[in-house]
Structure 1
Amino acid sequence: MSDGGDGAAAAAAAAAAAAGGNGDSDGAAIRVARRRLSVVSDNRLIEGVSTMGIDAEEQKMASGKAAPAGGKGGSGAAPPPAAEEEPAPPRSVVSCYAGFSKRGFAPYNPRKKNQDALVMAEDPATGSLLFVVLDGHGEAGDKVAQAFRHGLATAAFLHPLWATDVAAALQDCIEAVEAELLADHSVDTDFSGSTLVAACIRGSSITVANVGDSRAVLGIQQVPGGALVAEPLSVDHKPDAEAERERILAAGGRVFAVEYEDGLDGPPRVWLGHMDVPGLAMSRSLGDKVAHTAGVSSEPEFFTRELDPSAGDVLLILATDGLWEFMSNEECIGMAAQSREPRIAVEALITEASERWMKEEQVIDDTTVCVAFLGGWSGGAP
């Protein structure tokens, strides 16, 4: 969820004024939702509202089964003979997967865009699966997320290090897509940006890249037939984390939460040293030119491990904070484990998350969820 605009010098004052309100339901929703905004501002453009029209694009439910090792897409015609025989790519531990990006709901914003984005791409040449979820924020947050949706996978699959060093290739490509975006003057990224969490699965190895507070979580069945436990494969980048805070302060930025008159304080945010902007609620993001002058970083943090379904590694979830805001890692893994197909798991998670948003805040954040079953896991109650 985000608040776009050209600044936030009056952020606290605007928030206090909103807290006064006129007692109507829209005002109440704004008063509660302010705690979750990724960027605060004195501008009333919330969650990517644009007077230029409504973005009707909605990513539909997509699912698939991992292609056989060495499998090729296209017409099915036999490939030309190779000059030298090449080893077949490793067989993926992913048996099937599904994902969906759902637009949220805000009663005060009928023209709301979905600022999330989802990528699920297969690279037969290396036997790789690449899953990416993005959560845009600010007035142009949807454009930031879409830039990575359309550019990252293609760039990664063509990168010279993709076959040998996934992390290095992803880091280069994330930097390249961001640099191209920042150079595009048709997209105002001063106060707009996106999170990113990506997972490349090749054979039994997974490499996760994370920028911001979207999240990747692994479900592990430690006892045959028992409940799954959750193992995070990423760490949320928040301004109050010690290392993140130190970097921000060293760059001349400040970290503090907005104090509201009604006592409902928000999360710690990043501010310039001399001005109360931009109020970013994460310490790493893509885009966000102004926040980056205050120590916010776009450098991804990487995590790599081997996946062993025979040892209980059976379920993977990637999602934006629309899922994680009111649901724990354990709850999400447990709910997904009850489903016999990734598609059903995705639907159940998004439905539950939406209900909790409405109960807690009378708004629903954009929510993107990708679920993968590993090693032939079929789900269902133990």
Structure 2
Amino acid sequence: MGCTTCSQRGNIIIPSQPIRNNIKYPSKAKLQIKQKDSTGRQIGISSVSFDFTKPFLFSSETLNLPYISHISRCVLPGIDPRGERDKKCQDYCLYISNQKSILLSLFDGHGKEGEKIVSICGKVVEGFFKENIENYSETPEKFLEDLCNSCDANVKKPGNGIDSTNSGSTAVLVLIHNNKIYSASLGDSRAILATEILPNEIPVPKALNHEDTKHLYTTVSGLYPIQLTKDQKPEDPDEYARILKNGGFIKRITDNGKQIGPYRVFDSSGKYPGLAMSRSIGDSSGSTLGVISTPICTSLPITNKEKFIVLASDGVWDVIDNEDVVAFVEGYKNKCLSICEIPLQVESNNTIIAHLLAEEARMRWLKVVTEDDVIIDDISVVIMQFNDTS
């Protein structure tokens, strides 16, 4: 990607490029993956070729709701570039509405039962919204909290055929209701808002994992990325204190004396459950260690200056930062189609905006694969666009 302008972030100059009229993504990849020994020293290179997976979920529609004009969703199943492991898709996302409100939800499963767990969560969301939204009309944050705990209870319900001991899911939910944006999250899936006006009070601090490699596009002037949900990592001071109080331990995995990967939650043995998040649905082995299913909730008033909301799993946030997601969606949403079938060759002018962002994330994963020889994660995206009041 060529450097056309440079923007300064901290002490590092980052090459940024403007949005192009059209952008295309291949259907296949051929990579040279670095082989490394236990010390991280490169000892060789292996060549792999593979086809990209087609969307597992793909939908888009124009809505006739207060404030809302359009919504799209896409889930791209992950890939083992070497083809050695059967990679099941464990992400799921959906949206449901009535004449007054709309609820967006996204789940990112993990463990052997992750696929089943996100499926149950999807069913719980639909039923809970239809049966209870009117009962929580004046307490929407309580609605989101009870919904997350209901998902957790259904996943852990005896006799449901699911062993949630070491399996679970993140959750991120956004509810548009009573002229406000309500958000709730468990784990490290995230929701952000693009708006033309900075709110008086920011809902949560911006996530700290904004490496410079995640920022490629020129920032959009006059459009602010507001993080709506807080990533719940074990090393966060509040989360850390709760887990230690419940007898849990937090550490990184050590390989040949070198710490690798994120901080994780373990029991006193230091072997289980190894969770890289401090709140989740399921994960029964972590429940006694302070890993809870009660979400962190936030709210913002609607000002009619909102442009769009993006919900995504860590398959996006691991490789793209908030600013780049906003720049990408703002630059391409009007170039994408409102409704279409899944295209054979993905371009900005033949698919929906949620699919395009998911493909952008997948392309950035290729650099991670070549350096670290990892599996490409499942990638989930929901994008809701507000009515244009300009």
Report the Cα offset of residue 169 of structure 1: 2.1
| 1:114 partner SS | coil
Matched, 1:214 2:226: no
**Runs of at least 5 residues in structure 1 that lack an aligned partner in the other structure:** 1-15, 29-55, 69-91
User: Which residue matches 2:19?
Assistant: none
Q: Distance in 2 between matches of 1:262 and 1:100?
A: 40
Per-residue CA deviation, residues 306-357 of structure 1 (Å, 9 max, x unaligned), is 1222xx3211101111000011000001100012157633222111110111
Q: Match of 1:44?
A: none
**Root mean square deviation of aligned Cα:** 2.9
Higher strand share: 2
Q: Residues 236, 190 of structure 1: CA spacing in aligned structure 2 closer, same or farther, 3 A cutoff?
A: same
User: Comparing both structures, which one devotes a greater share of its residues to helix?
Assistant: 1
Deviation digits for residues 144-180 of structure 1 (CA, Å, limit 9, x no counterpart): 1111111212212311523332221222232223212
Deviation at 1:237, TM superposition (A): 0.2
Of 58, 63, 73, which aligns to 2:60?
Answer: 63
Equivalent position amino acid for 1:354 in 2: R
Unaligned 5+ residue runs, structure 2? 1-36, 199-219, 339-350
- Find the aligned partners of 1:247 and 1:372 in 2 and give their Cα distance: 34
1:13 alignment counterpart: none
Distance, in Å, in 2 between the alignment partners of 1:176 and 1:170 is: 10
Does the alignment pair 1:314 with 2:322?
Answer: no
Give 1:110 shift: 4.5
Cα distance, 1:18 vs structure 2: 12
Distance verdict in 2 for CA 1:298–1:22, change over 3 Å: farther
Residues 187/18 of structure 1: CA separation in 2 closer, same or farther (3 Å cut): farther
Structure-2 residue corresponding to 1:268? 263
Separation in structure 1 between the aligned mates of residue 270 and residue 150 of structure 2, nearest angstrom: 30
| Residue matched to 1:356 | 364
SS in 2 for 1:317: strand
For this pair of structures, how many residues does the alignment match?
307
TM-score, reference length from structure 1: 0.74
Q: 1:93 aligns with which of 59, 67, 71?
A: 67
2:276 aligned partner: 281
**Partner-residue secondary structure (3-state), 1:266:** strand
8 Å contact 2:118–2:169 — kept in the other structure?
yes
Deviations 1:215-236 (A, max 9, x none): 010012349x934221100000
Q: How many angstroms does 1:377 deviate by?
A: 6.9
Paired residues of 1:156 and 1:170 also in contact (CA < 8 A): no
Counterpart CA distance in 1 for 2:288 and 2:54 is 33
8 A contact 1:237–1:283 mirrored in 2:
yes
Q: 1:254 aligns with which of 245, 249, 252?
A: 249
Aligned-partner SS, 1:338: helix
> Which residue number in structure 1 is paired with residue 145 of structure 2?
171
1:1-382 pair list within 5 angstroms: 59-68=56-65, 92-106=66-80, 107-124=82-99, 127-159=100-132, 161-185=135-159, 186-202=161-177, 204-222=179-197, 226-261=221-256, 263=258, 265-309=260-304, 312-339=305-332, 340=334, 341=336, 344-362=352-370, 363-376=375-388
Give me the whole-angstrom Cα distance separating, in 1, the residues matched to 2:384 and 2:128. 23
Partner Cα distance (2:330, 2:101) in 1: 24
Percent identity over paired residues = 27
Instruction: Return the offset for 1:275.
Output: 3.6
Distance 1:241 1:150, change over 3 A: same
Residue equivalent to 1:47:
none
Is residue 196–residue 214 contact of structure 1 (8 Å, CA) maintained in 2?
A: yes
- Is contact 1:314–1:377 with CA below 8 Å preserved after alignment? no
